[in-house]
Chains A and B, each alone.
Chain A
Amino acid sequence: MIQDFLCTTLVFIGTLFMIVAGVGILRMPDLFMRMSCTSKATTLGMGFIMAALAVRFPHLEIATRALIITLFALLTAPVAAHMIARAAYVSGVPLWKKTVADQLCNRYDRCSCTLESCPIVENPPEEEERVDPDRQEPRK
C-alpha cells in the first residue's frame, strides 16, 4: 500500500516536470530559453518516472535497468543540449530582444569558428554589417 502511494507520488512529480517542460517549449520566447527549461526538466521527469518503475517492480534487474536508463539520460542530455546550443549560436539564431547578457557577443569569429578572449571589434554591436567583410572571405 505504501508502495503504491510512493509510486503514485513519483509518477505525479515526473509528470509535473514534463508538463512544465511542454509549457516551456511552447511559451518561451527564445531558443536558448526553451532549451534551458526543457532539457533539464524532461530529464528529471523521466528520472522520476524510472524511479517510480523501480518502486513498482521491486526486483533487482528492473531497478538496475531503470538506473541505467536514468544514468544514460543524465549523461547524454547535457551533451546533446550543449552541442545543439553551440550549433545554434554559431549559425546565428537570434536571441530574445530583452536579453541582458551575451558574453560571447563580438568574441566569436563566425567564419573560422574560433573564440577570442577579447572582443574582435571594439564597436558596439548595433551595426550588423561589420561581420560581412569576414564573411565574404572565410579563412579556412
Chain B
Amino acid sequence: MTNILGVALPAAMLLLTSTIFMAFVRLMKGPSFPDRVVALDIMTTVAMGLIGLYAMESGEVIFLDVALFLALVSFLGTVAFAYYVERRQLRTGSGE
C-alpha cells in the first residue's frame, strides 16, 4: 500500500463514520416511523461501504461476503418494516 492510499482510506472511513452518525441523529429524532426506517436503511448501506473500505485497507477480501449478507438483511428488514407500516394502517384505518 503506497502512501496516498494509506492516507485516503482512513480519511474516507472517518467521513463515512460521520455519515453514519448523521443518520443516527435522524434515527433518534425522526418525527415519524418511516423516517427511522429510512435512517436505518441508510446506515446499513453506509456500513457496507465502510466494510469495503476496511477490506481494502486490511487486504482481507473475505469481508466482502459480510457486505453481501448485510445488503440482503437490510433489504429484507426494510421490506418487512414497510409491510408492517402498511398493514397496520390498513387494519386500524387511520393515519399514523
Contact = CB atoms under 8 A, between A and B. Distances in A.
A44 B34 CA distance: 22
Contacts, number: 176
A73 B83 contact: no
30 contacts: A1-B2, A4-B2, A4-B5, A5-B4, A11-B8, A11-B9, A19-B19, A22-B23, A35-B38, A42-B49, A43-B45, A45-B46, A46-B46, A46-B52, A52-B52, A53-B52, A56-B5, A56-B56, A69-B67, A73-B48, A80-B78, A80-B79, A80-B82, A83-B82, A84-B38, A87-B82, A91-B95, A110-B89, A110-B95, A113-B86
Contacts of B85: 84, 87-88, 90-91
Interface of A: 1, 4-5, 7-8, 11-12, 14-15, 18-19, 21-23, 25-26, 31, 34-35, 38-39, 42-43, 45-46, 49-50, 52-53, 56-57, 62, 65-66, 68-69, 72-73, 76-77, 79-81, 83-88, 90-93, 110-111, 113, 135, 138
